Chains A and B, each alone.
Chain A
Amino acid sequence: MLRLPRFVTLVACLMICAMLRPAPLAAQADTPLQDVLQAVQPLVASPSRATVPQVLAALLDADAPGTVDFLRAWAEREVHERPDDGLFFYARDGADRNLILIDIDTGEVAGDVSSRDVNQIRPNAGVRREINAALVSFELLNPNPDRRMAALAAIARSPDADQIPALESALAAEEEARIALRMERLLDLLNARFATDSATRVDAIEGLRGDISTEARRALNQILQTRADFAPDIPEDTNVARIRTPGEDMDLIAAYATLSDAGLVPPRQGRNAIRDALRLNAVSGEVGGIPVHRLDTDEMRRTAYRALQDAGTVPPLVTQADMEARVAEYIFFDAYLEPDAAVTDAARDALDSTRTAISLWQFLGISLDALSLASIFFLAAIGLAITFGVMRVINMAHGEFIMMGAYTGYVVQTVIPNLTTSLVVAFPLAFAVTFGAGVAMERLVIRHLYTRPLETLLATFGISIALQQLAKNIFGTQARPLTSPDWLAGAIQVNDVVSVASIRVAIFAMALAFLLLLLFILNRTRLGLEVRAVTQNPGMAASMGINPDRINMLTFGLGSGIAGVAGVAIGLVAQVTSEMGANYIVQSFMTVVVGGVGSVFGTLAGATLIGALQKGIEWFNPANTLAAQTYMVLFIILFIQFRPKGIVALKGRAAGD
């Protein structure tokens, strides 16, 4: 027999039990469960968190066979109501969107109806939480370990004093170590909050000292809940958390308002109250002897009010001094809901002991977020680091190459349903597509403009505008998701404070891989050598037998191809839209310029700085992410003023101009 989760409803339960007794005796033998349910029919048909304890009480009291199964089915939304007679049925799908009804007592088929002729009962999450909590004592002994874990999760969600004995007996019988460990832990949490003697509680609380998990801190904070109160003298048995001084750590007007709300002092007249009082007492264009038209300052209004006050028509004005005097007669304080000071002291102590650790972990969390953001910026910018940094070609369509890569990934995902395979295909394909687009653009447009950098900027703008609109025409304006495979969908949970989505870790690894690959290509391969030669002196390079046209084409293709791959990666964490490139282009240029043009390490430094900066500003102003972005751009503008060559400035001949 299970105890009620809420004793508040005991009275209601008794009433329902009383109603239950005279239920039709004849039918009782065949349909005991249905009868119990019919006694509380409306509460079962439209369940609510406030009424579900009554139903649970009635059901568990009657203890009809199949009750536990019914509760499970009820929570899982498998129960239907037939509105004609109000009877409840289980159901399974039949032909033609029809439902096959199953009797809840006998398990026999009870008819085949349209889904519109019965109401599916859909208990909401709050109701289901109550039902699951009620099922805990059954589920804790369930042979299936998953069910036992689920029951423990239910306890963690709605802890209750009554769960302690059930948990204790389940713990005694538990064989699996992992579950037993979890049970012990929950028992600690329950004891800390609900144990009857102070010593057990303090003991349990001591056990939570230094524990940074959310549930431990949640339990401690629940013990430490306070209420605001006031009294002429603090009552004897109050466990005071803090005393407030009006005018210092409490607003004087608010303190006075508390008193006036309690009816202890006359209400204070605000500006509006004075105006309304004057309006009510205006007689033939005058209030208290002052013509109405002169009442357009607060001072005149107060004078008029005083005149009315002297005449006795309105209550006296509450002045600052009045408020101070009346407020001083009372003590305002916060009191713990928990009367036992030993328990609250221990809880406060335990909670304080986690402070430092939590700040450190939070700092680590923010740093990881910054690192993740930096790796995304780096990926977006690294292609640009090659085309702009090495070749000095301004490619404003770089963002559109990112977008093109992301859409390639999207198309691949629509063709290949397996997410892992589609990703494996998408990356090289995105590279190929954007490599091709880059080469085409270099051949057709940029080649003609190498001597006119500003014109390159404009022409690539034109291409960027055209590509964006083209993407809109083809894919529509709705954002398309790139879905990551299941093994990348979760998060790496360090502890309850720090967790990083796996996909972000993957992107970080990818950024790292690209960095190494690029360094290798530029510094260790023939192509890299030729690229550097052409960049420094195209004429001399040409006379040494290098074909500058070919090298420019390949370099530009490489930069664009990397942008495409970055697009797939970014699409996995963000959304694929035709405007996604435009969102990254200015930031990417910033990254390259801040880091130092012409250096891959510079781009890395730039991305790290920008990522850290954005997260840092967000940390100080968590309510407004937009502000963080604004200040970041401002900072970058200023930074470039003072270090125009960026963080990693090239020296010597490589610096070019």
Chain B
Amino acid sequence: MDIPRHTAAAPSSRRSFLRDNPSVMWFMGCLGLFSLIVTILSEGMGIGLISTNLVKVLGMTLCLCLIAIAMDVVWGYCGILSLGHFAFFGLGGYAIGMWLMYARTEIVIRDSLGRGTIPPTELEVSEAVAAQIFGVVGSSELPMIWSFAGSLTFQLGMVVLVPGLLALVFGWLAFRSRVTGVYLSILTQAMTLALSLYLFQNDTGLRGNNGLSGLQNVPGFLSTPQAIISIWFFWASAFALGAGYLLFAWLVSGKFGSVIRAIRDNEARVRFLGYNVEGYKLFVFTVTAIVSGIAGALYYPQAGIINPAEIAPIASIYLAVWVAIGGRGRLYGAVIGAASVSLLSSWLTGGGAPNIDLGFYRVVWTDWWLVLLGLGFVLVTLFFPKGIGGLFDYLVRKQ
């Protein structure tokens, strides 16, 4: 697909990397400009043309773009159609969500108990926090996995470690026994299903179907208006997307990129050439899982709530759909796909689009959007395997 012309002499310095990949410069420029415009127009910091709600939606979209480029690397470049990356996304969200919930509740509890005559013991505090968090699901005990939920550092570590370790163990098992192609896809889907079923149980200790909520209130900034917080998260998301894009663009442009593309195109041949195919695949799978986890950790504080339905296998399928529509094997394609489809989707299902009256039938977008998406997706796979990104190739070639 878009293999750089000088693959043999892989660029080593940062300057030549950027020169070889003009699209990275373009992307960074666009992202920076976009962030600036949103900030200026926002309610919290600018002239108020963009509502806080929209800032949040845009921030969340940036996170979705981040997981989309991760998906693009693992699928478009390395050929592993993973139907499990949204599970890693969700795990990142859960990890940060635990801290957000615990710390916020702890502040409230300490404040309330501290007003009594006698100061509370640590045990009383943690019991009261547990009753607050788990009273909702008919329990009052803090499960084991919440032992360190009060520590931001620990939970931030979990954002990286939990998806990373899960991907490492799962990937090692799967790649070691040479599960490839559609089997691997189905296996990753089974993993996602198992994880979401597991999280749906209340016994898991993550509030089951209810999930974690009120995540938009950041402990320590409880009195800061959401208008401001939304901008902070927007910046963080934009920064993460930029950094992720740089990382992946650099990763796929060098020799490493050539090897994983070769694995995608003919795994057996690469193995015969003496490369440790499993190692490469495992590395890509794990790194993209970690990036997905980080994207999730930024996404859910903006969404405000995370629950197991977010992790259901269908979410990961949508992720594949975005990337396919945007164009596999090019990072900007993934960004375009994720941004356009998810924004279009929320516009059409959010009741924003006017319904069309055909006289004999009224087209209600909320009802027909998924039908269109599904069929459109079939058309893209059949006739435009390169997706929207393919249009750029076409234009460039024309010049």
Contact = CB atoms under 8 A, between A and B. Distances in A.
Decide whether A and B are members of one complex.
Answer: yes
Interface of A: 271, 275, 278-279, 282, 287, 292-293, 295-298, 301, 394, 445, 448-449, 453-455, 457-459, 461-470, 472-473, 582, 586, 589-590, 593, 624, 626-627, 629-630, 633-634, 636-638, 640-642, 644
B68 to A, nearest CB: 15
A11 to B, nearest CB: 44
B371 A473 contact: yes
B141 to A, nearest CB: 15
Nearest to A579: B314
Mostly, the A contact residues are: helix
A224 B186 CA distance: 54
B193 A466 contact: no
16 contacts: A279-B117, A292-B118, A448-B382, A454-B182, A457-B182, A457-B185, A458-B377, A461-B317, A465-B317, A466-B378, A469-B374, A586-B190, A586-B193, A633-B193, A634-B194, A641-B179
Nearest to A299: B121
B368 A624 contact: no
B119 A295 contact: yes
Given A457-B81, A462-B321, A636 B190 contact: yes
Contacts of B116: 279
A282 B367 contact: no
B189 A586 contact: yes
A461 B321 CA distance: 9
Given A466-B378, A469-B370, 20 more contacts: A282-B117, A296-B122, A454-B81, A455-B381, A457-B185, A458-B321, A459-B378, A461-B321, A462-B373, A463-B378, A466-B372, A466-B374, A469-B374, A472-B367, A473-B371, A582-B314, A589-B186, A593-B186, A624-B203, A637-B194
Contact of B200 (A394, A470, A626, A637): A626
A641 B371 contact: no
B351 interface: no
A629 B118 contact: no
Contacts of A461: 317, 320-321, 374, 377
Contacts of B382: 445, 448-449, 459
B53 interface: no
Interface in B174-216: 174, 176-179, 181-183, 185-187, 189-191, 193-194, 197-198, 200-201, 203
Listed from nearest, the 7 A-B pairs whose CB atoms lie closest are A466-B374, A462-B377, A465-B374, A469-B370, A633-B194, A462-B378, A296-B119
**Most chain B CB inside 10 Å of its own CB: which residue of A454, A629, A644:** A454
A279 B201 contact: no
A463 B377 CA distance: 8
Interface string B47-89: 0000000000000000000000000000000000100000000
B313 interface: yes
B385 interface: yes
Contact of B370 (A278, A296, A468, A630): A468
**Most chain A CB inside 10 Å of its own CB: which residue of B116, B118, B176, B179:** B118
B381 A449 contact: yes
Nearest to B318: A465
B197 A629 contact: yes
Nearest to A285: B117
A586 B189 CA distance: 8
A637 B84 CA distance: 13
A633 B116 CA distance: 50
Contacts of A582: 314
Interface string B342-379: 00000000000000000000000001111111111110
B284 interface: no
B183 to A, nearest CB: 7
Q: Indicate the size class of the contact surface on chain B.
A: 35 or more
Contacts of A644: 177-179, 183
B341 interface: no
A637 B189 CA distance: 10
Contact of A297 (B121, B198, B373): B121
Contacts of B119: 292-293, 295-296
A597 B200 CA distance: 31
Contacts of A637: 170, 173, 187, 190-191, 194
Contacts of A589: 186, 189
B371 A470 contact: yes
Given A301-B121, A458-B320, A640-B179, A473 B367 contact: yes
B367 A455 contact: no
Given A461-B321, A589-B186, A627 B377 contact: no
Given A459-B377, A466-B370, A454 B185 contact: yes
Contacts of A590: 186, 190
Given A275-B118, A457-B81, A457-B185, A466 B201 contact: no
**Most chain B CB inside 10 Å of its own CB: which residue of A271, A458, A469:** A458
Nearest to B179: A644
A28 B134 CA distance: 66
Contacts of B174: 641
Contacts of B183: 593, 640, 644
B120 interface: yes
A626 B376 CA distance: 35
B343 to A, nearest CB: 18
B34 to A, nearest CB: 29
Given A296-B120, A644-B179, A630 B198 contact: yes
B123 interface: yes
Interface string B314-348: 10010011001000000000000000000000000
A207 B254 CA distance: 86
Nearest to B323: A458
B298 to A, nearest CB: 27
B371 A466 contact: yes
B80 to A, nearest CB: 10
Contacts of B374: 461-467, 469
Contact of A630 (B120, B189, B201, B381): B201
Contacts of B194: 630, 633-634, 637
Contacts of B314: 582
A626 B193 CA distance: 12
A473 B368 contact: yes
A278 B124 CA distance: 15
Nearest to A455: B381
A275 B124 CA distance: 11
A610 B378 CA distance: 32
Contacts of B182: 394, 453-454, 457
A613 B193 CA distance: 17
Contacts of A394: 182
Given A457-B81, A586-B313, A634-B194, A298 B121 contact: yes
B381 A458 contact: yes
B381 A282 contact: no
